[in-house]
Chains A and B, each alone.
Chain A
Amino acid sequence: MSDITASAAGELWGREGFREDPYIVAETLEETGDAPAVILPLAVWLGLEESVRSETNRKIGVSVAPGESIDPLLPLLDTIPLIALQFPAFNDGRSYSKADILKNQHQFKGELRAVGDVLIDQVAYMLRTGFDTMKVTHAVTLTRLAEHNLHDAPGYYQPGRGSHTVPGAYSWRRVPGA
């Protein structure tokens, strides 16, 4: 692993590049002490008192495994600062659909994060379905992200985030850019 990826491994990536991750991941709230930003498993998060979830002095995000339903979160989206969708294996694509449902159907305003085994070819897809950030384990992906080499296409055949229509083009087509 090169120096650049070694330093990036613990960091968070977004459209602007790598940055430090303010969140810590924990199994319970008790073990996080007074950490200002934590991510808890879905079941634990749902078990919290409403008053704890919406505390203003700390951010409590929620992590969702591919097999878990996001339906219980939908009525509460306004109070959630971060949802982390898991990619335990690169070929499990369920979280792409959840991303689209959260960001486009339900206008989730918080941070949507992809966590796990992400291939470089998938990063552009993730951004388009609605992910804001990713926490990646794959070494080649980290290297390519550091080089800003996203393997993106020059145009898209579907609507999605980070793209816009071109006048006169078919309604389903988009080109990259805000």
Chain B
Amino acid sequence: MYRYDEFDHAFVSARVEQFKDQVERRLAGELTEEQFRPLRLMNGVYLQLHAYMLRVAIPYGTLSGRQMHKLAHIARRYDRGYGHFTTRQNIQYNWPALSDMPAVLDELASVEMHALQTSGNCIRNVTADHFAGAAADEAADPRPYAEILRQWSSMHPEFSYLPRKFKIAVTGADRDRAAIQVHDIGLHLKKNEAGELGFAVYIGGGQGRTPMVAKKIRDFLPIEDLLTYTTAIVRVYNLNGRRDNKYKARIKILVHETGTEEITRQVETEWQAIKDTDLKMPQQDVDAIDNYFRMPNLPQRPEGWSQLAAARKADASFARWVDQNVTPHKNPDYGVVTISLKPIGGIPGDATDAQMDLVADIAEKFSNDEIRVSHEQNLVLPHVAIADLRIVYDLLLTDGLATANAGLITDIIACPGLDYCALANARSIPVAQRISERFGKPERQADIGELKIKISGCINACGHHHVGHIGILGVEKKGEELYQISLGGSGDEICTIGDITGRGFSSEEIVDAVETIVDRYLLVRTDKEENFLATYRRLGAAPFKDALYNETANAA
């Protein structure tokens, strides 16, 4: 993991001191809420429906046990005993008092964390594959490059007042778990034929009210050019992105309106002018950052294989959890464990202080002191020996953290929605909870197989509904909450935006509608190997529309 040096410490402390001064001036009435707004946003403090909300950055979703313990402590001491992990690999606290914010930021700084650039029209927290550095299928760990981008984008003098927020995601595997094609910049770290590392560069992806799949503008960018090329992209965007309409201000609109060929030409022209400047990265710096992310020295634990076989045989629930929540590791004696924050009927992404402490303890003892936050709102233990899976499972079980549903229909992404968010038109969380309860039986979920449901409470799409295999969008119509369904979306390497089925469903109808879709899928799939998305891609929307609208018409 990256560790702060003196430079980083001084930088973050200075920002905290500055914000303390600003909060004091606000509390003393020297600053109006309007004057305070841009200042608090720079420090991750939002004003929500009921209270201020603090969004803490977890760079590329990686944190240590000590950091997780601190997040637990903050939840306990300054909030109501829980935190909410988000689709940006961050954590949000919904109830801290404004007067406590400086103290919270001090606490965070003590474990090398902060809330900078978690809001505002700047380059936001850089996200990465949550299995980075551990997954068996990656070309290289993308996190060193995410860290370099994090540093370079911190309080960037040229890029702190962009037309709109700007999100960068990096993956190091062909199997894209970081959804890079729905980001402003998506970077795919890969090796060329000569075995050298570089990036395929995508720009202009995004969700919101105008969802777009990113366009590839470069197939292979050498590592040394990462910062100059990124600068060229963001500069072209800063100069030419629309500022007349907030909803047309993201780079996806600029790419769409300018055309991929022309915007590529502009980026390349700008890059030619700056490619040999100070931002060209020397290999030694890349190596130094890379060094922080080296694969830990994991001892051989071959005894795990026979133990696992026996433990699986003895306990069907454990076997199901291993099948669903453990992913192959680079080291065959180890596995990557997904800790589901989606208990049946629970609130997606929420964790209590006790749960965070438990995860931290387990990570310190059994995962080389590393934890990840996934954009799917789960936690990950990246380095667990196969031999320790049983004990880790038993420990997780003690506090409701062993739900065996990673990637299944109850592993739902949902934004905070109208329960918390000032922007929302409809509730998301209760819909997620009811769907989860409807499909909660383990056998039923297992039979349905991989199916990603994503729910947003408004058109801003924080719940990523456009890339849900089944996406649900809450809207408000004549004072009622109404839910629109889209099908066939996917945020992985074959990225697609879901198709809207037709008229929406009321809060009472929506769970039945999802069940109707699922039942039709079970009926029309070739066999259990053909998952929902593959079936949808083969058959299109027709059978599902038929099921939804004819059946509802018949029932009405």
Using A98-B239, A119-B38 as known contacts, say yes or no to A93 and B160 having CB atoms under 8 A apart: yes
Interface centre among B15, B153, B161, B274 (most CB of A within 10 A): B161
A97 touching B235, Cβ below 8 Å = yes
Q: What is the distance, in angstroms, from B189's C-beta to the closest C-beta of chain A? A: 19
Q: Could you write out 14 A-B pairs with CB less than 8 Å apart?
A: A90-B161, A92-B243, A93-B160, A93-B238, A96-B160, A97-B158, A105-B273, A121-B39, A156-B157, A157-B11, A157-B153, A158-B157, A159-B279, A169-B7
Contact of A125 among B18, B160, B281 (CB under 8 A): B160
9 nearest CB pairs, A to B? A93-B161, A125-B157, A128-B157, A159-B278, A96-B158, A154-B10, A157-B151, A157-B154, A97-B238
8 Å CB interface, B186-211 against A: none
CB nearest neighbor in A for B6: A155
Using A154-B14, A158-B157 as known contacts, say yes or no to A171 and B238 having CB atoms under 8 A apart: no
Interface membership of A91, Cβ < 8 A: yes
A171 touching B278, Cβ below 8 Å = yes
Cβ–Cβ < 8 Å partners of B247 in chain A = none
B151 touching A172, Cβ below 8 Å = yes
Interface membership of B379, Cβ < 8 A: no
A157 touching B155, Cβ below 8 Å = yes
Using A97-B235, A159-B279, A172-B227 as known contacts, say yes or no to A124 and B157 having CB atoms under 8 A apart: yes
Interface membership of B285, Cβ < 8 A: yes
Cβ–Cβ < 8 Å partners of A61 in chain B = none
Contact with A along B13-27 (1 / 0, CB 8 A): 011001000000000
Q: What is the distance, in angstroms, from A87's C-beta to the closest C-beta of chain B? A: 9
Interface membership of A160, Cβ < 8 A: yes
Distance between Cα atoms of A13 and B223 in the complex (Å): 41
A105 touching B274, Cβ below 8 Å = yes
Contact of A96 among B14, B148, B238, B289 (CB under 8 A): B238
Cβ–Cβ < 8 Å partners of A140 in chain B = 35
Question: Which positions in B face A, CB cutoff 8 Å?
Answer: 7, 10-11, 14-15, 18, 35, 38-39, 42, 121, 148, 151-163, 227, 235, 238-239, 243, 273-274, 277-282, 285, 288-289
CB nearest neighbor in A for B39: A121
B156 touching A158, Cβ below 8 Å = yes
B157 touching A97, Cβ below 8 Å = no
Interface membership of A178, Cβ < 8 A: no
Distance between Cα atoms of A96 and B158 in the complex (Å): 5
Q: What is the distance, in angstroms, from A71's C-beta to the closest C-beta of chain B? A: 11
A155 touching B10, Cβ below 8 Å = yes
A97 touching B239, Cβ below 8 Å = yes
Interface membership of A53, Cβ < 8 A: no
Interface membership of A151, Cβ < 8 A: yes
Distance between Cα atoms of A101 and B288 in the complex (Å): 30
Using A91-B161, A97-B158 as known contacts, say yes or no to A172 and B152 having CB atoms under 8 A apart: yes
Cβ–Cβ < 8 Å partners of B42 in chain A = 121
Question: Which positions in A face B, CB cutoff 8 Å?
Answer: 66, 90-94, 96-101, 104-105, 119, 121-122, 124-126, 128-129, 140, 151, 153-160, 169-173
Q: What is the distance, in angstroms, from B149's C-beta to the closest C-beta of chain A? A: 10
Using A97-B235, A159-B279, A170-B288 as known contacts, say yes or no to A129 and B121 having CB atoms under 8 A apart: no
Cβ–Cβ < 8 Å partners of B14 in chain A = 153-154
The total number of A-B Cβ pairs within 8 Å is 102
Interface centre among B18, B239, B278 (most CB of A within 10 A): B239
- A-B contact sample (15 more), CB < 8 A, given A125-B160, A153-B11, A171-B282: A90-B38, A92-B243, A94-B238, A96-B160, A101-B235, A121-B39, A122-B160, A124-B157, A125-B157, A129-B157, A153-B155, A157-B154, A157-B156, A171-B278, A172-B152
B157 touching A160, Cβ below 8 Å = yes
Using A93-B159, A121-B39, A125-B160 as known contacts, say yes or no to A170 and B11 having CB atoms under 8 A apart: no
Distance between Cα atoms of A173 and B279 in the complex (Å): 10
Interface centre among A66, A97, A124 (most CB of B within 10 A): A97
Using A91-B161, A93-B161, A172-B152 as known contacts, say yes or no to A153 and B278 having CB atoms under 8 A apart: no
CB nearest neighbor in B for A154: B10
Cβ–Cβ < 8 Å partners of B227 in chain A = 172
CB nearest neighbor in A for B21: A151
Cβ–Cβ < 8 Å partners of B7 in chain A = 155, 169, 173
Using A98-B239, A172-B279 as known contacts, say yes or no to A93 and B10 having CB atoms under 8 A apart: no
Q: What is the distance, in angstroms, from B11's C-beta to the closest C-beta of chain A? A: 5
Q: What is the distance, in angstroms, from A143's C-beta to the closest C-beta of chain B? A: 12
Contact of A171 among B157, B159, B162, B281 (CB under 8 A): B281
Cβ–Cβ < 8 Å partners of B15 in chain A = 153
Cβ–Cβ < 8 Å partners of A93 in chain B = 121, 158-163, 238
Distance between Cα atoms of A156 and B8 in the complex (Å): 10
Q: What is the distance, in angstroms, from B2's C-beta to the closest C-beta of chain A? A: 12
Interface centre among B156, B162, B273 (most CB of A within 10 A): B156
B157 touching A151, Cβ below 8 Å = no
Distance between Cα atoms of A72 and B285 in the complex (Å): 38
Cβ–Cβ < 8 Å partners of A153 in chain B = 11, 14-15, 155
Q: What is the distance, in angstroms, from B45's C-beta to the closest C-beta of chain A? A: 15
Distance between Cα atoms of A171 and B279 in the complex (Å): 7
Q: What is the distance, in angstroms, from B64's C-beta to the closest C-beta of chain A? A: 22
Cβ–Cβ < 8 Å partners of A169 in chain B = 7
A170 touching B285, Cβ below 8 Å = yes
CB nearest neighbor in B for A105: B273
Cβ–Cβ < 8 Å partners of A119 in chain B = 38
Distance between Cα atoms of A169 and B274 in the complex (Å): 21
Cβ–Cβ < 8 Å partners of A124 in chain B = 157
A170 touching B151, Cβ below 8 Å = yes
CB nearest neighbor in A for B244: A67
CB nearest neighbor in A for B236: A97
Cβ–Cβ < 8 Å partners of A173 in chain B = 7, 151
Contact of A172 among B18, B162, B278 (CB under 8 A): B278
